[in-house]
Amino acid sequence: MKRFIPLYLVLTLSYALNAQNNISEILAAGLVAAQEYSDSYTTPAGESFVTNLSTGWYDDAKSLNKWQFELSLKGQATFSPDDQRNFVLDPQRYAQIIQDEYDSSGNPPARIEVSFADGSTNPRNIATALGVNNPSEFLIIRAVDQTTGLLIEDTPIELGQGLENENVDFIPTVFLQAGLGLGGGLEIKARFVPKIQVDEAKTSLYGGAVQWEITKLFEDESGNSAFPLRLAALGGLTKVDAEYDFRDGVMVDGVNQTIEVQSTSFTFAAITSTRWNVFNLFAGVNYVTGSTESDLLGTYTVSSESILFPGSATFEDPLSVRADVDMIMTTVGAKLNLGPASLVTSYTFSEYSTANAGLAFRF
């Protein structure tokens, strides 16, 4: 990921490239441990992505006039707090998880020990998909003979890096958004990015919303109102479908090996704005709910001589991670009207705050 790519691919690519580099090692630690690590590693990025998709729906409480059309180019960046760029990994917890799975495997009796590369078994902060391990971090899984106490196996697993390792400090999106006035204060909106493929990754973005300017009810036929502010309500849906194709057999034997990411966000907003002609301020309170689901699909045959996985084992659709979001966000912004064009900027405050900028043309 050293070159510029369509920005909303970075989440998929980061997770996919980490999985591609470490899939044999991760699965060799057992499915339960692999699922636990994947949940902790991926969830903050999934939450950040839902937050990003939920913003940018409005830049005014004023709805377009009947049959008036607006086309906007929008870009936004969602920033993650420091505490979401890492998670606490406890080697002793993973030792117990792997021990339980090993004991049920029918292999010769052994005691499983897990530590970091420096020998520490104390919990420490490890990168999520948003962070970075500097220096790189490894887990060492040891199998010790229960009778003799002799070391049977030493298996190192390199822990995944995140977006910060690629000098990306935020989740970005760029998309086109269109609006059409229906009259009576109603406006429908749509956002869309066609399916794009970059190397083995492909993605698409689409969504729709309805905005109703409530204060239209109190305006006279000339559009004048004694109420100093405009008020509106909005409901919107945004969805991203992304897929990364590993190319069967390149990283590990198997077929139909892909990562699929589906992110869906619902936004419900109460909006207010000024009634000035050229320059306006706007603000909104938003309720956001949604989810990001990341699935490692296909069959994966891991061959190994290790005590943890003697011989080979085949996994089908081995990992699935879901991040759910349910939060209240607030938005403030400004809009400058320059004839048929408008410049807009806004900032949305939440656990994952988002900056937004846009250029719009009305017809």
63-78 tens-digit pLDDT? 999 999 999 999 999 9
pTM: 0.86
What DSSP assignment string belongs to 122-138?
Answer: S-EEEE-TTS--SS--E
Q: Which residues pair with 142 in a beta bridge?
A: 113, 154
Sheet holding 138-145, edge to edge: 110-116, 138-145, 151-158
pLDDT, position 6: 39
Least confident of 107-116, 239-248, 316-325: 239-248
- Name the 3-class secondary structure at 2: coil
Q: How many helices (H) and strands (E) does the chain have?
A: 3, 17
* 69 vs 32, residue with greater confidence: 69
pLDDT one-digit tens code per residue, 271-291: 999 999 899 999 999 999 999
Token duo for residue 296: 């490692």
Answer yes or no: are the C-beta atoms of 31 and 318 closer than 8 Å: yes
- Residue 154 backbone dihedrals phi, psi, to 5 degrees: -125, 115
Residue 356's nearest CA partner among 292, 282, 254, 258 is: 282
Peptide bond into 91 cis (omega under 30): no
Whether 310 has a pLDDT exceeding 50, the answer reads yes
Q: Tell me which of 97-111, 121-135, 250-264, 328-342 is least confident.
A: 250-264
Collect all residues with Cβ–Cβ distance below 8 Å to 74 and sequence separation of at least 6: 56, 174, 175, 176, 177, 191, 356, 357, 358
Q: Is the pLDDT of residue 252 over 50?
A: yes
- What lies within 8 Å, CB to CB, of 247 at 6+ separation is 200, 257
What is d(CA 125, CA 147) in angstroms, rounded to the nearest whole number? Answer: 34
Q: What is the pLDDT of residue 92?
A: 96
Mean pLDDT of 347-360: 96
Buried b (16+ CB within 10 A) or exposed e, 160-194: bbbbbbeebebbbbebebebebbeebbbebebebe
Q: Where are the alpha helices (DSSP H) in the chain?
A: 10-28, 31-54, 91-103
Report whether pLDDT(359) > 70: yes
Mean pLDDT lowest among 12-21, 265-274, 288-297? 12-21
DSSP letters along 248-261, please?
TTSSSB-SS-EEEE
For residues 214-223, average pLDDT: 82
Using CA atoms, how far apart are residues 73 and 174, in angstroms rounded to an integer? 8
Give the H/E segment covering residue 343.
strand 341-349
- 179 sits in which H/E element: strand 170-183
Q: How far apart are CA 359 and CA 345, in angstroms?
A: 9
Q: So what's the pLDDT on residue 61?
A: 96
More confident residue, 155 or 279: 279
Residue 139, classed as helix, strand or coil, is strand
Cβ neighbours of residue 91 under 8 Å, at least 6 residues apart?
A: 114, 115, 116, 120, 121, 122, 123, 139
What is the four-CA torsion angle of 311, 18, 30, 156, rounded to 10 degrees?
A: 70
The predicted model gives 203-211 an average pLDDT of 94
Q: Which of 48, 205, 52 is nearest to 130 (CA)?
A: 48
Distance CA 40, CA 92 (A): 16
Tell me what the pLDDT averaged over the chain comes to.
86
Report the pLDDT value the prediction gives residue 18, as an integer from 0 to 100.
55
